[in-house]
């Protein structure tokens, strides 16, 4: 069922989204391929320590882990997408795109 809500004087139309249904009734919060890179997966201790080295702390205070970026890109972009990272920093997004292309034969491009 859809509904219209008034927020700050503006009407907004909301549809019941299939992702909000329980999985048993036809809804799912998992898109195809997300099992491969589960977003809820935590970084291993080794990966956490890797980003706590002086190299990363001095140059880039908050680097994005490559595995997390791969999960995000895989879940949200097609294999031939253009990925733009306006806050490129250490280039993690570009590295994630290159690694994903190598793994699945995608033709993603990136702009940092």
Dihedral of the CA atoms 12, 15, 17, 22 (nearest 10)?
120
Task: Give per-residue pLDDT as tens, 36-81.
Answer: 444 444 556 666 666 555 555 555 566 778 888 999 999 889 999 9
Residue boundaries of the structural domains of the chain: 3-111
HEC readout, the chain: CCEEEEECCEEEEECCCHHHCCHHHCCCCCCCCCCCCCCCCCCCHHHHHHCCCHHHHHHCCCCCCHHHHHHHHHHHCCCCCEEECCCCCCCHHHHHHHHHHHHHCCCCEEEC
Percent of the chain exceeding pLDDT 90 equals 29
**pLDDT value at 2 more than 70:** no
CB–CB of 97/112 below 8 Å? Answer: no
What pLDDT was estimated at residue 64? 79
Question: Please, how many CA atoms are within 13 Å of residue 87, restricted to the half-sphere of its CB?
Answer: 5
Two tokens at 27?
């809804």
**pLDDT value at 21 more than 60:** no
């Amino acid at each position: 069922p859809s509904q219209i809500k008034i927020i700050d004087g503006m009407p907004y139309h909301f549809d019941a989204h299939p992702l909000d249904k329980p999985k048993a009734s036809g809804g799912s919060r998992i898109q195809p391929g997300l099992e491969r890179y589960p977003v809820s997966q935590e970084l291993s201790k080794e990966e956490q320590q890797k980003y706590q080295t002086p190299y990363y702390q001095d140059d880039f205070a908050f680097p994005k882990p490559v595995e997390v970026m791969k999960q995000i890109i895989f879940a949200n972009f097609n294999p031939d997408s253009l990925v733009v990272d306006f806050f490129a920093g250490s280039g993690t997004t570009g590295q994630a795109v290159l690694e994903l292309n190598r793994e699945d034969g995608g033709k993603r491009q990136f702009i940092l």
